[in-house]
Amino acid sequence: MKRRRESGNMVAGRNALVRAMKTLLAALCFYALGLFNCITYTIRRQYRNLHVIESECRNRYSSNTCHTLTSNSLFLSTIVSRVHKFSVLKSSIISLGQLRKHQVIRYEYVPLSPLSAHRLSVVKRKILVLDLDETLIHSHHDGIIRPMVKPGTPPDFVLRVNIDRHPVRFFVHCRPHVDYFLSMVSQWFDLVIFTASMEIYGSSVADKLDNGKGILQRRYFRQHCTMDYGGYTKDLSAVHADLSSIFILDNSPSAYRKFPQNAIPIRSWFSDPTDTCLLALLPFLDALRFTSDVRSILSRNQQLQQVW
């Protein structure tokens, strides 16, 4: 009798274990199916957005650009039809992100009317001072253990410089649309680079951004800054004595602490490929060049920019 009881208990234990394993397997299958449906829905939604981009492209841009987007749409339609394959699914997500990052965006530049051209001729040409790190670019070097950029993201370029006789590699990522931004504002203003970084690094970054165009000739570095409250402050009066025609674009309010009426703040950038802050500034900058004193406009945001 005792053996029969033990045998019965073992059978009951096995049955309970089998039922538990079946329940766990069913739960895992249900979870995997839900995850698969979510990913599939996301890709199909992005695929539908491509048709919107394509139709807008046909209305606004050249046939060559439309052909590029159409080719990408056909490629993505093939991916969606084979979404059950994990390897293809992974590559489709990457392709969607890259397409969104590089979609064509342009600022509609309208030729000046005679009245606007006359107004522009009677005011001084302004000077736009540009910061580098976290404003136009973001970089990290070999010694950074936890970079802000997602691991595996390729840099736009790599700089090799010697600091204190030690070779250091900087992996530089450019803010989205920075090249187009510089090409536009260089037509409206005289550009000046003013960075709190060391000259050996900042000069190399400026050379890359300039790319032989000659639009970033004037440059100021850490040695031109002043220490204030434990940070570097940029003296705009050292760049240009007439403060009515100079302003700075910088992500750090402490950098323009003494010149809040001559500053345009911008959100710090590290790695977001969908960032459009530089593009969003173009209409405002286009209008700012017509004013006789930039402080009459920029001082309206002074309270928002003040650092306590």
- Reading the chain (308 residues) residue by residue, the pLDDT tens digits are 545 555 556 666 677 777 777 777 777 766 666 666 666 665 565 555 544 444 444 444 333 333 333 334 433 443 333 334 334 434 444 444 444 444 556 777 778 899 999 999 999 999 999 999 999 999 988 877 666 887 778 999 999 998 888 899 999 999 999 999 999 999 999 999 999 999 999 999 999 999 999 999 999 999 999 998 888 999 999 999 999 999 999 999 999 999 999 999 999 999 999 999 999 999 999 999 999 999 999 998 765 554 43
DSSP assignment letter at 26: H
Q: List the catalytic residues.
A: 131, 133
- Kind and range of the H or E run holding 8: helix 2-60
Q: Over the range 277-299, which residues count as b (16 or more CB within 10 Å of their CB) and which as e?
A: bbbebbeebbebbebeebbeebe
Domain boundaries, the chain: 114-139+176-304
| Model confidence, pTM | 0.66
269 CB-contact burial (10 Å; exposed 0-12 / middle 13-18 / buried 19+): buried
CATH number of 114-139+176-304: 3.40.50.1000
74 CB-contact burial (10 Å; exposed 0-12 / middle 13-18 / buried 19+): exposed
